[in-house]
C-alpha cells in the first residue's frame, strides 16, 4: 500500500503497487465502517491481498475486500528510523511508477526492501541499494561499474570519476572532456560501493557498506532530475538516518 486517504463520510481512496496489475488506485466504499471487509488493512505500508473490480468509466477500481497479504513483513512502526525509511520507500516507488505499468519487478524490490527494513537495522546502505534497485526496476538503471564512454571498469581507473545524469552513470577523468555536462565528482571507491549495492540482494544488505557523501549526492542529483521534486519523506529520513 503506497497511499491512503479518507474520502467522504466512510470511504477510503488508496493507491497500491500490485504484483499483477501495476500501480493501482481504487476506492473502498464504506471502508471506515466495515471492519469485516477491510479490518484496517488499507493503511500505507501494509501488504494485502486485494479483491477489486474495474469500473467501466473512471480510473479508480472498486475495492470490495482486503485480506492480509501472503508475505507479511515485520511491522515498521516500532522504531522511528524504520518507519521513516519505510515511508520513503513507498513514496519513492509511488513517484517512479506509472499507473498500470508492468510492476512485477518493482513489487518484488519494494517487498524485499520493506522486509529488510523491518528486520533491521535500517541503514544508509539499505536506502541506497533500494534507490538503485527500484530505479532499475522502473527503467532508470544506473551504471557505476564502468565508464559510460570508454567502457573501462572502475577497478582499472585511477583518479576522480564523474557522475553525469544524462549519461546514466559515471564518466572517467580521461573521457570527461567529451561529457562536459554538470557532474557530481565521485571517488572510485564510492562508485564501486554503489555498483555493488545495485546488485546485492536486499535481504543480504544488512552487512553492506554505504557509499559516502559523494555517492549519496550522485543518487540525490539523479532522483531530483527525474522526479523534478524532492520527496516529502526524504527530509524526515535525512534527519534520522
Ligand atoms: Zn572513460
Task: For ligand 1, an ion, list residues with CB under 5 A.
Answer: 147, 149-150, 172, 175
The arithmetic mean of pLDDT across residues 208-232, rounded, is 96
Q: How far is the CA of 149 from the centre of ligand 1 (A)?
A: 5
**Which of the pair, 42 or 195, is modelled with greater confidence?**
195
For residue 77, the model assigns a pLDDT of 76
202 backbone dihedrals φ, ψ, rounded to 5°: -65, -25
Q: How far is the CA of 177 from the centre of ligand 1 (A)?
A: 10
Report the percentage of the chain scoring pLDDT > 70.
97
Q: How far is the CA of 217 from the centre of ligand 1 (A)?
A: 21
For residue 46, the model assigns a pLDDT of 86
User: What does the mean pLDDT of the chain come to?
Assistant: 92
Report the percentage of the chain scoring pLDDT > 90.
74
Q: How far is the CA of 21 from the centre of ligand 1 (A)?
A: 40
11 and 52 in a single domain? The answer is: yes
Q: Is residue 160 part of a domain?
A: no
Q: How far is the CA of 29 from the centre of ligand 1 (A)?
A: 57
Q: How far is the CA of 146 from the centre of ligand 1 (A)?
A: 8
Q: How far is the CA of 191 from the centre of ligand 1 (A)?
A: 14
101 and 18 in a single domain? The answer is: no
Q: How far is the CA of 178 from the centre of ligand 1 (A)?
A: 9
What's the CATH number where 46 sits?
A: 2.40.50.140
For residue 41, the model assigns a pLDDT of 77
Domain that holds residue 219: 80-142+189-240
Q: In what order do the strands lie in the sheet with 61-68?
A: 3-7, 11-18, 22-28, 61-68, 48-53
For residue 71, the model assigns a pLDDT of 63
Residue whose C-alpha is closest to residue 92's, from 128, 125, 49, 118: 128
CA-based torsion, 21, 24, 27, 32: positive or negative? positive
For residue 31, the model assigns a pLDDT of 86
Domain boundary among 44, 68, 92: 68
132 and 196 in a single domain? The answer is: yes
Q: How far is the CA of 99 from the centre of ligand 1 (A)?
A: 37
Domain boundary among 42, 68, 94: 68
Q: How confident is the model at residue 97 (pLDDT cuts 50, 70, 90)?
A: very high
Number of structural domains in the chain: 2
> Who contacts 36 (Cβ-Cβ below 8 Å, separation ≥6)?
none
For residue 72, the model assigns a pLDDT of 63
13 and 63 in a single domain? The answer is: yes
123 and 224 in a single domain? The answer is: yes
Which tens digits make up the pLDDT trace of 154-184? Answer: 999 999 999 999 999 999 999 999 999 999 9
Cis peptide before 121 (omega within 30 of 0): yes
**Which of the pair, 59 or 144, is modelled with greater confidence?**
144
Which tens digits make up the pLDDT trace of 45-95? Answer: 888 899 999 988 778 999 999 888 876 677 787 889 999 999 999 999 999
Q: How far is the CA of 196 from the centre of ligand 1 (A)?
A: 19
For residue 69, the model assigns a pLDDT of 80
Q: How far is the CA of 152 from the centre of ligand 1 (A)?
A: 6
| Coil, strand or helix at 201 | coil
Other CB atoms within a 10 A radius of the CB of residue 102 amount to 13
- Which one-letter DSSP state was computed for residue 206? G
24 and 117 in a single domain? The answer is: no
Residue whose C-alpha is closest to residue 217's, from 124, 94, 148, 152: 124
pTM reported for the whole predicted model: 0.93
209 and 138 in a single domain? The answer is: yes
93 and 57 in a single domain? The answer is: no
| Environment class of 57 (CB within 10 Å of its CB; exposed 0-12, middle 13-18, buried 19+) | exposed
21 and 58 in a single domain? The answer is: yes
129 and 208 in a single domain? The answer is: yes
What's the CATH number where 101 sits?
A: 1.20.1440
195 and 236 in a single domain? The answer is: yes
Q: Is residue 212 part of a domain?
A: yes
108 and 63 in a single domain? The answer is: no
Amino acid at each position: 500500500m503506497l497511499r491512503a486517504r479518507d474520502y467522504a463520510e466512510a470511504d477510503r481512496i488508496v493507491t497500491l503497487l500490485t504484483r499483477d496489475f501495476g500501480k493501482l488506485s481504487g476506492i473502498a466504499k464504506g471502508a471506515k465502517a466495515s471492519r469485516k471487509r477491510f479490518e484496517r488493512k488499507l493503511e500505507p505500508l501494509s501488504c494485502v491481498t486485494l479483491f477489486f473490480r474495474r469500473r467501466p468509466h473512471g480510473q479508480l477500481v472498486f475495492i470490495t475486500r482486503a485480506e492480509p497479504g501472503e508475505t507479511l513483513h515485520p511491522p515498521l512502526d516500532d522504531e522511528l528510523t524504520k518507519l521513516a525509511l519505510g515511508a520513503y520507500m513507498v513514496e519513492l516507488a509511488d513517484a517512479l511508477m506509472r499507473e498500470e505499468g508492468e510492476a512485477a519487478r518493482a513489487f518484488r524490490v519494494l517487498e524485499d526492501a520493506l522486509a529488510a527494513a523491518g528486520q533491521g537495522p535500517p541503514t544508509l546502505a539499505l536506502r541506497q541499494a533500494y534507490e538503485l534497485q527500484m530505479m532499475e526496476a522502473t527503467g532508470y538503471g544506473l551504471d557505476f561499474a564502468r565508464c559510460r564512454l570508454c567502457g573501462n571498469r572502475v577497478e582499472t581507473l585511477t583518479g576522480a570519476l564523474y557522475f553525469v545524469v544524462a549519461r546514466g552513470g559515471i564518466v572517467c577523468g580521461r573521457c570527461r572532456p567529451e561529457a562536459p555536462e554538470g557532474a557530481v565528482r565521485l571517488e572510485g571507491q564510492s562508485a564501486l560501493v554503489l555498483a555493488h549495492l545495485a546488485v546485492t540482494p536486499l535481504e543480504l544488505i544488512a552487512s553492506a557498506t554505504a557509499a559516502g557523501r559523494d555517492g549519496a549526492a550522485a543518487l540525490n542529483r539523479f532522483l531530483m532530475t527525474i522526479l523534478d521534486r524532492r520527496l516529502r519523506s526524504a527530509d524526515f529520513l535525512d534527519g534520522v538516518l
